[in-house]
Amino acid sequence: MDYDCITKEIRKDIFLAAYSASNAHLASAFSIVETMYALYEQGVLHVNPQNPQDPTRDWFILSKGHGSLALYCELYRRGFFDRDTFLSFSKPSSSLGGEPCFPAVPGVECSTGSLGHGLGFAAGAAFAKKLDGRSEKVYCLVGDGECQEGSTWEALMFASRQGLDNLTVLVDCNGLQKMDRVEAIMGIPSLAPHFQVFGCETAEVDGHDIHAIRACLSAENRSGKPRAVLLRTVKGKGVSIMENDPGWHWRLPKKKELKVFMQELGISEEEAEYAKSLRNGTV
């Protein structure tokens, strides 16, 4: 399967939704495209688009809620909602906000966006499932900058103490946060030792290698500990001028830059114009 072609298509759709809304945390969504694809389309996450509240589903919580477009795109691709809904992103009557909302969006388990909340929520859900002897898994994706929030480590202590091996923490290690490199701001070159010390079974993978992500997440965790998977990623992955530049945390391309986006993501004039018309409400 040509994964490059698929992930280019996903990034294109994410861009069109963002462009139609004239706002998004685009670079933060682009760094997790392969992870979200592996979760939703490579058999890692067992979900039921026909019944999003299916009690036997696995749970996914996007704690770094600002990467919402990567989640919405997979929910749309899996049939939780249609393309028009996806392209309604962040417009007045849409249920799809810049940060995911519960219960408005099918497939979204929890409102997130304020950093440092998702992992505690996920740990609570995993704890309840363990108590009930249920086999569903809980996955939570956090950002590496987000790990500066102390509540993340409170949640990890709890998850380790309770032996929540039904919980997987995915860490998007794109190395950037809004103002600078994570390491420059907090002086921590790698988070792996921290997750180990806090009692997690820890693995590191290339966060743009779908095979590697799938292999890592498909392996059964019998360690009796929560699992942390550190995904080495590139913020803004897929568009050369956006990659690894913190300046793209919260902005869209200007006129000249737009040509680079269109060229590298394979977007036609018509597709860009259509997205723009959604913004203006002319369709």
Partner 1 sequence: MQRAYATALYEILKKDRNVISCLSDSGTDYDELIAREFPDQVVNFGISENNQLSAAAGMAAAGKIPFVYTTGAFIVYRSYEFLRDDVCLQNRNVKLIGMGTGLAWSTLGATHHTTEDLALLRALPNLTVFTPATPRELTGAVQAAYETRGPVYIRMGMSGEEELFDETYTFTPGKILPVREGKDLTVFTAGSILSEVMKAARLLELEGISARVVNVHTVKPLDSEGILRECKGPGLFFSVEEHNVLGGIGTAIADVCGSAGLPLRLTKIGLRDSFAEGFGTKKDVLRQNCLDAEHIFLRISEVVKNGLSVQI
Closer of 100 and 253 to partner 1 (Cβ) = 100
Closer of 167 and 267 to partner 1 (Cβ) = 167
Shortest Å distance, C-beta 74 to partner 1: 21
CA distances for 280 relative to 19, 23, 200, 277, angstroms: 11, 13, 48, 5
Q: Other C-beta atoms within 10 Å of 186: how many? A: 15
Closer of 45 and 216 to partner 1 (Cβ) = 45
Shortest Å distance, C-beta 105 to partner 1: 12
CA 167 distance to own-chain centroid: 16
The pair of structure tokens assigned to 31 is: 């760094």
Shortest Å distance, C-beta 161 to partner 1: 8
Return the bridge partners of 173, or none.
232
For partner 1, the binding residues (CB under 8 A) are: 102-103, 109-111, 114, 116-129, 131-132, 150-151, 154-155, 157-158, 161-162
Shortest Å distance, C-beta 40 to partner 1: 20
Q: How open is the CA angle 229-108-206, to the nearest 5 degrees?
A: 20
Shortest Å distance, C-beta 216 to partner 1: 24
Question: Among 71, 7, 1, 65, which residue's Cα sits nearest to residue 239?
Answer: 7
Phi, psi of 229 (to 5 degrees): -115, 115
Closer of 20 and 166 to partner 1 (Cβ) = 166
Closer of 122 and 267 to partner 1 (Cβ) = 122
Shortest Å distance, C-beta 153 to partner 1: 9
The pair of structure tokens assigned to 243 is: 């990659």
Closer of 67 and 100 to partner 1 (Cβ) = 100
Q: Return the beta strands (E) in the chain as ranges.
A: 59-62, 138-143, 167-173, 201-206, 227-232
Q: Other C-beta atoms within 10 Å of 116: how many? A: 19
Shortest Å distance, C-beta 119 to partner 1: 8
Distance (Å, rounded) from C-alpha 166 to C-alpha 159? 10
Closer of 128 and 179 to partner 1 (Cβ) = 128
